[in-house]
Amino acid sequence: MNKVNISYLTIIVLILFASFSRIIPHMPNFTPLGAMALFGGAYLKNKYHALVIPIASLWLSDLVLNNFIFSFYSDFTWFYPGFLWQYTSFILITIIGYFFLKKVNFKNVFITSISSSLLFFVITNFGVWLSGSIYSLDFQGLITCYVMAIPFYKGTVLGFICYSSLLFGILEFSKYKFQVLKG
C-alpha cells in the first residue's frame, strides 16, 4: 500500500471505531457522531467519500444499536423516527468539516466543534417539535422544546469537543510519529 492508501484507510478505521464506540455507556448525547462528521469532512478529500463514509458508519452503528443492543423496536428497524433530522444535521456538519477545516489546528477544530454542536441542537430539536408528538405546534411549543432540550446540550457539546479532540489528535499525532501516514 502506498502512503495515501494507508492514510485514507487509517481515517476510515478511526471513523468506524468512533461510530461503534457508541455502545460504551455514556451520559446522554455524549457521542462521537458530530466529531465523526467533522473528521470525515476534514480529511476525506473526495466529497462523495466525505459524505458517505461518516453517514454509512452512523447508519451501521444505528442498525446494531437499535436492533441488537437496545432493541427499542419490536421489528427490525432500518430507520428510526426522527432519523432524517439527525442525518441532515450530520450531513451539514460534514460539509462544515470539508470547507472550514482545510487547516486543522486546535482553534479551528474547537470552533467548528462548538458551532456544529449548536447546529445539531437547533436542527434535531426543531425536528422533535415539528413531529408534534411532545410539544404543541405553535411558537410557545417551539420555545418549550428548545428550553427542555438545554440540559441535553451539555452532553452534545462535550461529546463534540472530546471526540473531535480524540479523532483529530490521534490522526495528527500518528502522522507526526509515522511518516507513512503523511499524505
Residue with cell 455524549: 30
The whole model's pTM is what? 0.89
b/e burial code for range 142-177 (CB count within 10 A of at least 16 → b): beebbeebeebbebbbbbbbebbebbbeebeeebee
Q: What is the CATH number of the domain that holds 27?
A: 1.10.1760
Contact 57, 15 (CB under 8 A): yes
Q: 166 is in which domain, residue-wise?
A: 3-181
Q: Which three cell numbers stand for residue 170?
A: 490521534
How many domains, in total, are found in the chain?
A: 1
Residue of 123, 119, 162 lying closest to 18 (CA atoms): 162
Please list the rounded mean pLDDT of every run of 10 residues in the chain (183 residues).
69 90 86 94 91 91 86 83 93 95 94 97 97 94 97 96 96 86 70
Residue of 24, 6, 41 lying closest to 181 (CA atoms): 6
pLDDT of residue 1: 46
